[in-house]
Structures are given as C-alpha cells and as structure tokens.
Amino acid sequence: MTAKIGFIGSSAPRSPHHDSFKRFIPREIEFAFIQEAGLKTSLYEARGKVDVLIAQATPLIAERRWDGLIISGAPKEALNPGMWERVSGALKIPVALALRSSVAALKAFGARRILLMTPVDDQLKQIYRDYLADFAIESLYPPQTLRAHTDAQKLSSDDVETMTRSALAKYSGVDAIYFQGALLDPIPILEKLEADLNLPIIASNPAMLWAILSKLGLRYEIRGYGRLLSQWPALPAGPF
C-alpha cells in the first residue's frame, strides 16, 4: 500500500538534518518534508504556537492529500500542554508527535524506567521528565554538558556512544534508552548499542515513523535501525 505522509518540522526540506530519517522510510511511502512557519531563535518560542501549526497543516493536508502527518519537535509538546488533543481533534487525519510516539514505543517494550538522552537544557529535560511521568515512565538523565543543543550536530557517532555508555554507567537499572532530538543522532550506532547493552533503544524519528504507519494499518520489518523498526510491535492501546 502506498501512503502519503507529511512531516512538519523546524528544518528546511533539504536540510542535512533529515538525512538519517530518509534512510529508513519505506520506498513506497511518499514523504514530504515541510518547514514550519515562522523563524525561531530559541526552543522556548514553540510555546503558544499550536494554532499556527494547525493553520499551516490544514490546507496542506487538503492540497497534498496526505494520509498521515508527523509534527516533529518535542519542545512543542512539552511547552504546550494539551497539544496532542488539539491537533488530533483539529486535523482530520492520523497525527504522530515526537514525545507521544516515543512514549508509545517505550510502552510497546514495557519500559518503566528509562535513560533519557537529549541535547536540550536541563529545564526542558525536567519538563520531558514530567511528561513521561504522566505515562508512568520514570526518566533519568545526565546533566547538561553541551553549550547549546545545536552543538550536538558536531558530535561523531563515537562521541554519542561514549556519552551513552558513560550515562548508563551512572544511571543503571533502566529498561530502555530514549534519544529525544535528532541533533543527537544515534541512528548510525543504534543496532550496535542495542546489541552491546542488551536494551531497547527508542529514537524519536523512528518512533514517529512507526507510530504514523501503524495508525494507517501498515507494518514493516525495516532492518538496520533498531528493534522498533525491525520487530514492529503493535501500537499500544491508549491515546497515541
């Protein structure tokens, strides 16, 4: 089955930021990357912007005949309580959001205590923690080490692996690892880390793809990008 999926995020359609995502999109899925309206200099400017997103998405859904929509960016959800209910009610197609999709993936693997790896500042991490706690998921995370979240783009895969192993040594006893934010990109080493650490690893981009395609009744076995896409568990019951 062919499906048309829209993706609205903060980066331009041809941004290198999307390259790792494009690698695991099934060939028959038509995917359109769209940059969200308005320029932002801070992640916190996402507060109060849900109506703008809905206004941007509504005509695109009609014009492009999308079957589903991904809206990326965890700060949007974290800073706009009730965003899920608003977008899923206003837009007449299935929608996947970063935090909500990742929670569904963590639930699919039975995770209750997780290591959160994200490049955002400690204030946003605490908001993410509270969001996850509403779904009975306890999150542990290392303190901020990057000067700015965009500095994560300068890290190599070896750097990401070293950071993850170091954090896991301090915060042991977790059921899973959760990477939120594609700038801290675990995709190239995701399978290696899962095998070495014997833990499921959820990254937000694969989680959003899995969630939106699952909502459309589609199932795949996508190898090379971790257990979520290769095993393709069922979407848990609940508001996901």
Q: What residue segments make up the domains of the chain, in order of their start?
A: 4-97, 101-204
From CA 164, how far away is CA 115, in angstroms rounded?
9
Structure token digits, residue 101? 């999709």
| Residues sharing a CB contact under 8 Å with residue 108, sequence separation 6 or more, in sequence order | 228, 233, 234, 235, 236
CB 106 within 8 A of CB 137: yes
Tell me the whole-structure pTM to 2 decimals: 0.93
Residue 2's pLDDT is what? 85
* Eight-state DSSP code of residue 233: P
Residue 233's pLDDT is what? 98
From CA 116, how far away is CA 101, in angstroms rounded?
15
From CA 66, how far away is CA 60, in angstroms rounded?
8
pLDDT string in tens for the chain (240-residue length): 689 999 999 877 777 767 888 999 999 999 999 999 876 667 888 898 999 999 999 999 999 999 999 999 999 999 999 999 999 999 999 999 999 999 999 999 999 999 999 888 889 999 999 999 999 999 999 877 655 555 456 666 788 888 899 999 999 899 999 999 766 788 898 999 999 999 999 999 999 999 999 999 999 999 999 999 999 999 999 888
Q: Which of 59, 53, 108 is nearest to 77 (CA)?
A: 53
Helix, coil or strand: residue 113: strand
> Any bridge partners for residue 7, and if so which?
33, 70
Residue 155's pLDDT is what? 61
Q: Which of 39, 45, 32, 35 is nearest to 11 (CA)?
A: 35
> Any bridge partners for residue 177, and if so which?
115, 201
List the CATH code of the domain at 101-204: 3.40.50.12500
Residue written as token pair 């899995």: 210
Fold identical between 4-97 and 101-204? Answer: yes
Fold of 4-97: Rossmann fold (3.40.50)
In terms of DSSP bridges, do strands 30-35 and 4-9 run parallel, antiparallel, or are they unpaired?
parallel
CB 83 within 8 A of CB 76: yes
Structure token digits, residue 3? 């499906």
Cα atoms found within 13 Å of the Cα of residue 97, Cβ hemisphere only: 22
Residue written as token pair 């960016």: 73
C-alpha distance from residue 156 to each of 28, 104, 146, 178, 202 (Å): 31, 28, 14, 18, 19
CB 54 within 8 A of CB 86: yes
CB 30 within 8 A of CB 5: yes
From CA 175, how far away is CA 136, in angstroms rounded?
13
Q: In what order do the strands lie in the sheet with 68-71?
A: 30-35, 4-9, 68-71, 95-97
